[in-house]
Structure 1
Amino acid sequence: MPGTTSPTPRGNPMPMTRPAALRLRSVTRTHRTGGHTVTALDDVSLTFPEGTFTAVMGPSGSGKSTLLQCAAGLDRPTSGSVTLGGTELTALSERRLTLLRRERIGFVFQAYNLLPSLTAEQNVALPLRLAGRRVPRARVREVLARVGLGDRVRHRPDRLSGGQQQRVALARALITRPDVLFADEPTGALDSRSGRQVLALLRGTVDRDGRTTVMVTHDPVAAAHADRVVFLVDGRVHGELTGATADTIAAHMTTLEPAPALDARESQPC
C-alpha cells in the first residue's frame, strides 16, 4: 500500500469524517467479449466524502472509465451497490435513474459534447430545459461569467477555442448544482494553458462551493489538483495518495503497470 504524502497548496487533507456524497460497495462489472468474460471492475469499494476532489488513475485498461460510468449511473454494475447520498442507484428503474442524473449529477467529458447549433448560453441552459425546469437567464449568465466566458454568451462552439468550449461544458455541468461532478479526462484535448484554467475551475468548485468532484485522468499534473488520487490496476483499487505532488504521483504510476498476460509472455522469443 503506498504511503501518504503531506498536502500541497492545491489540495486539501481528505476530510474522511464528512458524510459520504458517493459510496461504492463491492462493485464488480463484467462483460462478454469474443466468447470470454472480461472483468472491468473487481470488487471495488470506495467512499467519496462531501466537498472533496478525487482523481482516479491507472494504466490503460485498468477500469478507470468503467468506474466513473458505474459511479455516475451511466452503467449498471454486475454486482455490488452504488449509493448517491441516501439513494441506491442500482435499485432505480431506468426512468428514475435518468431523472436522477439530470438533477443530481454533472458531467464533463474530454470531447466537450456541445451542440454546434446552440450558443454558449443555450448549451448551458440545455440540462434545465431537458428536465422541464425554468431557465433563469441571470443564473445561466452568472455560471458562464464564473468560468470566464461572460463575454461569450452568444458565441457558438465553432467560434470558441477548445479551452473555451470545455469551460462552457463545465458551466453546463454546474447549472443544475449537482451533488457530484464527474470529469472524464477533462484536459485531455487541451493545451497546457487551457488545461490549467479548467483544472483551476474544477478546484474552485470544490473549495468555494463544496462540490464533490471525481475526475478520471492520465495526467499527474491534473491529478495533483485533487485532494486524493485513487489508483486502479486490473479493475482493483491499488492504493491511494493524498495531497500528493505531480512528481510523487508520476513516480507512483511507474509502479502500477499490470503484469503481461501469460500467453503473451510465452509468445516472446527466448
Structure 2
Amino acid sequence: MTLDDWLVAVDDVVRLESLSKTYGSGRNTLTALRDVSLSLRAGSFTAVMGPSGSGKSTLLQCAAGLDRPSGGRVVIAGTDLTGLDETALTLLRRDRIGFVFQAFNLLPALTAEQNVALPLRLAGRRPSPSQVATVLAEVGLGDRGRHRPAELSGGQQQRVAIARALVTKPAVLFADEPTGALDTGTSRDVLALLRGLVDRHGQTIVMVTHDPVAAANADRVVFLADGALAGELVRPDAEAIAARMTRMEVAAC
C-alpha cells in the first residue's frame, strides 16, 4: 500500500462558517476570532499569517477540533464538528485530522517506528510494519526507524512527527509553526517535504507561520488581523508576503 492509497479527499476538506471565538465575559471579554468564513479545497496548501495576537493559533485550534468556537461551524471532510460530543470529537481528531506542532512532542524512550505507530496503538489498532515503513520512507527516514529521538537531528525529529501525523491517513494536516524551532537549511527541507506531500499525494495542509519564506511554499496565504480575515494572496513570493505583513503591522501600531 502506498501513501496515495491513504489520502481520501472531498472538494472542500475544511469549511469554516462565520467562526467566532471569545474568552471571558463582560468587560473582560476577549474576542479572538470574528465571523471568519473560509473554505479549503482538497489537495491545497494554505498558510495562515497575521500580526501577533491576530488569532492565527486560535483559528487553527478551532479548525482542528482542539478548541470549540463560540459561534459558527467547522466542517471537516463533510463532518460538522458543532454537534459532536467530546468522545465523537476525539475519534474524529484521531482518525481524520493530523497535527504537527513547533515542538516535536516525541516520546524519548520510543524509537522513530514506535513513535509513528503510537496513534494507531492508542486507537486499539495494530499497525503493520509496512504501514509504518511507508510513512517513514515518505519523509526520508526509511533508514532511521530504529533510532530514538536523541539520536536524530531536530529536522529528523520533525519528520518523525510529520510521519506520525500521516499514519492515520488524515483528511487534513494542520501545522502550527512547524519550522519555528529549526535552522534555515533544515526548515527548507521540512517545507519541501510538506510541499511534496501536496504535489505528489494531494494531501491538504493548513500551516500557521510568521515566516514569509515558509508561507511562500503555500498555494494560498490567508491573512488575519484582530481576529478577522484581512485578505489573501495566491501563489505569492516571499517578498510580496513580507510587504503585506509589514503594512499590516504598521496599521496595527
TM-score strictly above 0.5: yes
Alignment-mate amino acid for residue 65 of structure 2: G
Q: Partners in 1 of 2:162 and 2:27 — Cα distance?
A: 39
Q: How does 1:80-95 map to 2 (within 5 A)?
A: 80-95=72-87
Q: How does 1:124-139 map to 2 (within 5 A)?
A: 124-139=116-131
Q: CA deviation at 1:164?
A: 0.6
Aligned residue number for residue 66 of structure 2? 74
Query: Per-residue CA shift, 1:170-206, capped at 9, x if unaligned?
Result: 0001111100000000000001111111101111111
Q: Partners in 1 of 2:38 and 2:194 — Cα distance?
A: 21
2:63 is aligned with 1:53: no
Q: How does 1:106-255 map to 2 (within 5 A)?
A: 106-255=98-247
Q: CA deviation at 1:134?
A: 2.1
User: Structure 1 residues 30 and 148, CA, compared in 2 at 3 Å: closer, same or farther?
Assistant: same
Query: Per-residue CA shift, 1:128-153, capped at 9, x if unaligned?
Result: 11111120111101211111111111
Q: CA deviation at 1:78?
A: 0.2
Aligned residue number for residue 55 of structure 2? 63
Aligned residue number for residue 29 of structure 1? 21
Q: Partners in 1 of 2:25 and 2:216 — Cα distance?
A: 35
Aligned residue number for residue 7 of structure 1? none
User: Structure 1 residues 192 and 24, CA, compared in 2 at 3 Å: closer, same or farther?
Assistant: same
Q: CA deviation at 1:259?
A: 3.1
Q: Partners in 1 of 2:85 and 2:111 — Cα distance?
A: 33
Q: Which has the larger radius of gyration?
A: 1
Query: Per-residue CA shift, 1:45-88, capped at 9, x if unaligned?
Result: 00001110000000000000000000000000000000012210
TM-score, structure 1 as length reference: 0.88
Q: Partners in 2 of 1:35 and 1:225 — Cα distance?
A: 41
Q: In structure 2, the residue corresponding to 1:255 is in which secondary structure?
A: helix
Alignment-mate amino acid for residue 195 of structure 1: S
Aligned residue number for residue 10 of structure 1? none
Alignment-mate amino acid for residue 259 of structure 1: A
Alignment-mate amino acid for residue 110 of structure 1: Q
Q: Partners in 1 of 2:228 and 2:27 — Cα distance?
A: 23
User: Structure 1 residues 141 and 81, CA, compared in 2 at 3 Å: closer, same or farther?
Assistant: same
Q: CA deviation at 1:34?
A: 10
Q: Partners in 1 of 2:53 and 2:31 — Cα distance?
A: 10
Q: Partners in 2 of 1:85 and 1:140 — Cα distance?
A: 24
> Unaligned regions of 5+ residues in structure 2, if any?
1-9
Between the aligned residues of both structures, percent identity stands at: 69
Alignment-mate amino acid for residue 75 of structure 2: T
RMSD, matched Cα: 1.3
